[in-house]
């Protein structure tokens, strides 16, 4: 019952009466708090985020595609402009000059450039840069396209290790790195007219160019770098020869006057001539950057070939003026060698001066006749034996004029059987004879004149006067013929005296005047004595001839006084 009473006393929570009105909250519960509804993120906020992501991606791509920064040193800032000067290769942009400044010592221009990513792997030790601008030179005109497009920097890729600092070339290279061919080195004592871009010829065809040159501080020789283009690089062998072609070559020596030219381009820039002998003398193909000697001319290159040379020493009587090293040695007009040296030697033992002349016989020059003996090539012993046999047959050496204009001389060998060697040739390995050229004739004439000058001219003139007096006193006698013969002899002596006159010309002219005067006086006396003779019908004619002869002496003396050179050249 108690439980029921408690249950009845408990309010019924499920009955409607037990719930208080809605506007009256229960006294035992706290009041409810109203919360605002949650807002969702607007899609418009995604746009800045996307923009940031895109900007970051573009920046990353820009950094990724951006190439390295390099430094190029120029000698001058001509044509360089920051932000505008482009770096190109085959007219394709590879970078741009970002800044241009002077070096600390103000001697150079330092340009900072930004390269493309594609060019990064080509920035090596062998990479070259140079400024492309309009250039006018002896080799032609280049860079005309920059007149419209503007100056730019050309890049030529190379090999080697990576590099970021470069020295620009002062001039564009003559040969680009991508041109097929091979390079060689030439050594010479003088550069001459060679310059960068000078042509290299082979049989008149241009096969290459001169790339550059430098002076060696060790041996002070000039090293010339040349490039031979493909497919002509195979023409260069170990036995090849190079010589200088300076446009026009003019030489006057013992072998005559020579005039030679290659082309108008070689006239302006000079040039190099390549020659390769036939196999097997040519040898194997030359390696890249092989070294050769650059000779002055073709004759020097030909003389430098490896061939047998047999040297002899000659000594000629008299002067050797006009004979120089390199002069040809002739055998009956054909070249068989060259003069090696001409020098003055003092013999202390004999206290004498003498001039030995060293010559080189070259058997290869007469290979068609004397190259093989008993099926074997000739050596030095065989050549000396052959020359000794020819000497026994009369082979003699003499000096001869090679060029009358320049006075150059040469050595000539010919056969003179029975002619002994000249005196004083004991030092000569081969017999020599006196020269027969104009200089030797003049020397002989001088000797003759010295001998004539020692003769008593007064006695000669007295004989002439006596002869003329005999003509006057012995007219009609048998002695007249002998007197006329004596007169003819005297006149012949005077004529010989006139032909050989050189240094005694003034004295000779004076003597001739005296002869003419005496002859005229004598003839006048003779005419007075003999003019009336009836039995001597032919004497007046003889006297007239003698009178004409005397007058001719006077005319000749006057002419020689005005023209002494007529003794050598004759009357014009």
- For the record, the structure tokens of 114 come out as 């930004």
How far apart CA 442 and CA 188 sit, in angstroms, is: 43
Do the Cβ atoms of 475 and 533 come closer than 8 Å?
A: yes
How far apart CA 495 and CA 485 sit, in angstroms, is: 15
Instruction: List 363's β-bridge partners, or say none.
Output: none
Spatial neighbors of 400 by CB under 8 A, at least 6 apart, are: 330, 409, 410, 411, 412, 435, 436, 437
Do the Cβ atoms of 198 and 186 come closer than 8 Å?
A: no
How buried is 190 (Cβ within 10 angstroms: 0-12 exposed, 13-18 middle, 19+ buried)? exposed
In which residue are the tokens 């390549």 written? Answer: 274
Do the Cβ atoms of 235 and 297 come closer than 8 Å?
A: no
DSSP 221-245: -EEEEEEEETTGGGG-BTT-EEEE-
How far apart CA 473 and CA 479 sit, in angstroms, is: 10
Spatial neighbors of 202 by CB under 8 A, at least 6 apart, are: 232, 235, 273, 274, 275, 276
What size, in residues, is the chain? 572
Instruction: List 396's β-bridge partners, or say none.
Output: 414
Whether cis (ω within 30° of 0) applies to the bond prior to 231 is yes
How buried is 459 (Cβ within 10 angstroms: 0-12 exposed, 13-18 middle, 19+ buried)? exposed
Alpha helices in 66-178 (DSSP H): 146-149
Alpha helices in 241-379 (DSSP H): 264-269, 298-303, 367-370
How far apart CA 527 and CA 517 sit, in angstroms, is: 16
> End-to-end CA distance of the chain, in Å?
192
Nearest to 132 by CA among 78, 73, 210: 78
- For the record, the structure tokens of 235 come out as 């023409």
φ, ψ for residue 306 (rounded to 5)? Answer: -75, 105
How far apart CA 190 and CA 246 sit, in angstroms, is: 12
φ, ψ for residue 181 (rounded to 5)? Answer: 155, -170
- For the record, the structure tokens of 37 come out as 């509804």
Nearest to 194 by CA among 141, 136, 264, 267: 267
- For the record, the structure tokens of 269 come out as 């820039």
How far apart CA 537 and CA 531 sit, in angstroms, is: 10
Nearest to 116 by CA among 65, 74, 167, 71: 65
Do the Cβ atoms of 474 and 480 come closer than 8 Å?
A: yes
Residue-level pLDDT at 259: 58
Between the alpha carbon of residue 491 and those of residues 407, 453, 464, 512, 564, the distances in Å are 36, 17, 8, 11, 20
Residue-level pLDDT at 246: 62
Nearest to 411 by CA among 302, 525, 335: 335
How far apart CA 397 and CA 414 sit, in angstroms, is: 7
Instruction: List 373's β-bridge partners, or say none.
Output: 376
Residue-level pLDDT at 306: 64
Digitized pLDDT (tens) for each residue of the chain, 572 residues in all: 444 444 444 445 444 444 455 445 555 556 666 666 666 666 777 788 888 888 888 877 777 677 889 999 999 888 899 989 999 998 899 999 999 999 999 999 999 999 988 888 889 998 999 998 877 655 556 666 666 677 899 999 988 899 999 999 988 888 887 788 999 999 998 888 888 888 899 988 899 999 888 988 887 889 999 999 999 999 999 889 999 886 555 565 555 566 565 555 555 567 899 998 887 778 889 999 999 999 888 877 877 776 778 889 998 887 888 888 888 899 888 888 889 888 888 888 888 888 889 998 887 776 544 444 555 667 788 888 888 888 888 888 888 887 767 778 889 888 877 666 554 456 778 888 877 655 555 555 555 556 555 555 555 555 555 555 554 554 555 555 565 566 666 566 656 655 665 555 556 556 656 655 655 655 565 555 544 444 444 556 656 666 676 677 677 777 777 776 666 555 66
What is the chain's alpha carbon radius of gyration, rounded to the nearest angstrom? Answer: 54
In which residue are the tokens 């009587």 written? Answer: 317
Hey, what's the torsion of the CAs at 230, 234, 239, 242, to 10 degrees? -20
């Amino acid at each position: 019952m108690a439980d029921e009473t408690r249950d009845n006393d408990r309010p019924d929570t499920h009955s409607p009466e037990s719930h208080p009105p809605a506007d009256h909250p229960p006294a035992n519960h706290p009041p409810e708090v109203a919360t605002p509804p949650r807002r969702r993120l607007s899609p418009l906020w995604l746009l800045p985020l996307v923009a940031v992501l895109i900007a970051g991606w573009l920046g990353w791509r820009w950094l990724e595609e951006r190439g390295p920064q390099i430094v190029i040193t120029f000698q001058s800032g001509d044509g360089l402009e920051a932000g505008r000067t482009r770096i190109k290769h085959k007219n394709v942009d590879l970078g741009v000059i970002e800044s241009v400044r002077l070096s600390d010592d103000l001697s150079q221009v330092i340009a900072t450039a930004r390269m493309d990513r594609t060019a990064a792997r080509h920035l090596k030790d062998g990479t070259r840069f140079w400024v492309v601008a309009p250039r006018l030179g002896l080799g032609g005109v280049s860079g005309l396209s920059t007149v419209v497009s503007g100056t730019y920097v050309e890049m030529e890729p190379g090999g080697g290790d990576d590099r970021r600092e470069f020295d620009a070339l002062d001039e564009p290279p003559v040969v680009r790195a991508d041109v097929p061919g091979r390079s060689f080195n030439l050594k010479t004592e003088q550069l001459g007219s060679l310059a960068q871009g000078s042509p290299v010829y082979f049989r008149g065809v241009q096969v290459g160019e001169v790339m550059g040159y430098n002076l060696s501080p060790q041996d002070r020789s000039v090293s010339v770098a040349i490039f031979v283009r493909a497919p002509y690089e195979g023409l260069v062998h170990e036995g090849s020869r190079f010589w200088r072609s300076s446009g026009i070559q003019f030489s006057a020596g013992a072998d005559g006057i020579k005039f030679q030219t290659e082309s108008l381009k070689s006239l302006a820039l000079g040039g190099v001539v390549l020659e390769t002998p036939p196999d097997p003398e040519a040898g194997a193909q030359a390696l890249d950057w092989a070294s050769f000697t650059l000779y002055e001319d073709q004759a020097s290159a030909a003389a430098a070939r490896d061939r047998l040379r047999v040297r002899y020493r000659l000594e000629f009587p008299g002067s050797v003026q006009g004979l120089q090293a390199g002069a040809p040695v002739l055998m009956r007009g054909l070249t068989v060698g060259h003069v090696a040296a001409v020098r003055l030697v003092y013999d202390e033992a004999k206290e004498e001066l003498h001039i030995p002349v060293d010559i080189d016989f070259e058997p290869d020059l007469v290979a068609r006749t004397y190259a093989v003996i008993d099926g074997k090539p000739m050596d030095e012993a065989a050549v000396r034996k052959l020359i000794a046999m020819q000497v026994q047959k009369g082979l003699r050496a003499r000096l001869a004029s090679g060029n009358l204009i320049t006075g150059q001389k040469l050595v000539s060998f010919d056969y003179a059987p029975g002619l002994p060697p000249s005196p004083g040739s004991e030092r000569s390995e081969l017999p020599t004879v006196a020269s027969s050229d104009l200089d030797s004739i003049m020397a002989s004439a001088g000797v003759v004149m010295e001998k004539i000058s020692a003769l008593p001219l007064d006695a000669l003139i007295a004989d002439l006067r006596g002869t003329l007096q005999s003509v006057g006193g012995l007219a009609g006698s048998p002695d007249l013929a002998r007197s006329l013969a004596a007169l003819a002899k005297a006149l012949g002596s005077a004529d010989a005296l006139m032909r050989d006159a050189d240094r005694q010309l003034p004295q000779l002219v004076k003597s001739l005047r005296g002869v003419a005067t005496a002859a005229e006086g004598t003839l006048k006396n003779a005419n007075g004595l003999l003019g009336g003779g009836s039995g001597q019908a032919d004497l007046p004619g003889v006297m007239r001839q003698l009178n004409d002869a005397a007058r001719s002496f006077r005319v000749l003396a006057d002419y020689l006084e005005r023209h002494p050179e007529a003794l050598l050249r004759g009357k014009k």
